[in-house]
A and B are shown apart, each in its own frame.
With several copies, the nearest count.
Chain A
Amino acid sequence: MRLTLNGVPLDVDVTTLADLVGPLPTGQAAAVNLEVVPRADHDRVALADGDVVDVVTAVAGG
């Protein structure tokens, strides 16, 4: 399956968001196609070819 992860094209063989990003530590979050996916749903959200996935973390700023 062809995905984009944090802006980088990627060819991986995964089914769910959890498969791709694993368990996220506190301070991180994931979005699929620019919609935030709550942590609890990561293993219920199936990824599709062409999906855009982003994982963010808290950084110094502001």
Chain B
Amino acid sequence: MSDLVIAGTRLASRLLLGTGGLPRPDLLGPVLAAARPGLVTVSVRRTSSTAAGGILSVLQEHGVPVLPNTAGCLSAREAVLTAELAREALGTSWVKLEVVGDETTLMPDVVELVEAAEELVARGFTVLPYTTDDPVVARRLADAGCAAVMPLGSPIGSGLGVLNPYAIEAVVAAVDVPVVLDAGVGTASDAALALELGCDAVLAATAVTRAADPERMAHALRLAVAAGTAARDAGRIPRRATARASSPTEGRVTWSPGSSC
């Protein structure tokens, strides 16, 4: 697989990283070094909030492009405002668009999402929407001009992996823009599976930041994304309901059928 290109920009990796949830801010540097992500998401919050800032210098130091998100927004209107704040603050028109429809499951509200995507594209943003695993919505987002679509594997922070591989494959089949599996990755095999299903990249946040050893998990996911990419390119064997011998069936030395065995 050649490099991942989103909106004409070549990314250094098919692993994207969220930064929220690290137990200590000083872990971010080692995590970035281990993950070598293609993009790193940040949020924008009031300077007076308790949210940890000072993150940009660390990102710059590691040469990782920043992708602001609109996490927490409950309407298209809020998301557009947040995207505008992020563009002004960070000097990038890229945005990971999130419009949450349910504060328990943190599932996207796809109706507001499509509306926000259309508005942001019209305003010149490069929009990467966090969406459901619905291929029809994914195509709507792609048709609206989104630069990629980011379907969820399972709810944010759940670590349940890809609950519906069939749906993720349908999303991949439905759009021509890159597909980034977002949300739900819990461990390496989840990330590898996403690539094998046809996703172009994986975004992990909680899986890394809340792992017992975030740096090591960052490394694990980097390897897993590379493994999944290579496996997909290698053309896996078909699944078979019956066994197939991997050793020669002829030429064994044994008692002849007639002998007492």
Q: Assess A/B contact in the complex (Cβ within 8 A).
A: yes
The A26-62 residues at the B interface (CB cut-off 8 A) are 26-31, 34, 36-39, 54-62
Q: Given the known inter-chain contacts A58-B53, A59-B53, please indicate yes or no for A31 contacting B81, CB distance below 8 A.
A: yes
User: Would you give the shortest CB distance from A59 to chain B, in whole angstroms?
Assistant: 4
| A61 and B41 contacting across the interface, CB-CB below 8 Å | yes
Considering the complex, give the chain A residue whose CB is closest to the CB of B58: A60
The answer, yes or no, to whether A12 is at the interface (CB within 8 Å) is no
Query: CA separation between A50 and B86, bound complex, in Å?
Result: 24
Q: Does B47 contact A (CB under 8 A)?
A: yes
Does residue B205 face the partner (Cβ distance < 8 Å to A)?
A: yes
Whether A56 contacts B81 by the Cβ 8 Å rule is no
Q: Main secondary structure on chain A at its contact with chain B?
A: strand
Partner of B47, one of A26, A36, A39, A55: A55
Q: How far is the CA of A26 from the CA of B247 in the complex (A)?
A: 20
Known: A29-B89, A36-B88, A61-B71. A56 touches B20 (CB 8 A): no
- Chain B, Cβ-Cβ closest to A60: B19
Do residues A61 and B46 form an inter-chain contact, with CB atoms below 8 A?
A: no
Provide the residues of chain A in CB contact with B255, threshold 8 Å. 34
Query: A6 contacts the other chain (Cβ, under 8 Å)?
Result: yes
Q: Which of B18, B90, B253 contacts A62 (CB 8 A)?
A: B18
Kindly provide the distance from the CB of B16 to the nearest chain A CB, expressed in whole angstroms. Answer: 9
Interface centre among A27, A31, A38 (most CB of B within 10 A): A27
Pairwise interchain contact B81-A58, C-beta atoms closer than 8 A: no
Q: In the bound complex, what is the Cα–Cα distance between A55 and B88 (angstroms)?
A: 11
Tell me whether B47 and A60 are in contact (CB under 8 A): no
Q: Measuring CB to CB, which residues of chain A are less than 8 angstroms from any residue of chain B?
A: 5-8, 26-31, 34, 36-39, 54-62
Given contacts A34-B255, A36-B88, A60-B43, 17 further A-B contacts (CB under 8 A): A6-B46, A6-B48, A7-B46, A28-B89, A29-B86, A39-B88, A54-B85, A56-B45, A56-B89, A57-B47, A58-B44, A58-B55, A58-B66, A59-B53, A60-B20, A61-B45, A61-B51
- B interface with A by C-beta (< 8 Å): 18-22, 25, 28, 41-49, 51-53, 55-56, 66-69, 71, 81, 84-91, 96, 98, 205, 246-248, 251, 253-255
The 9 residue pairs across chains A and B that have the minimum distance between CB atoms: A61-B43, A62-B41, A61-B247, A29-B89, A29-B88, A59-B51, A60-B19, A62-B18, A62-B69
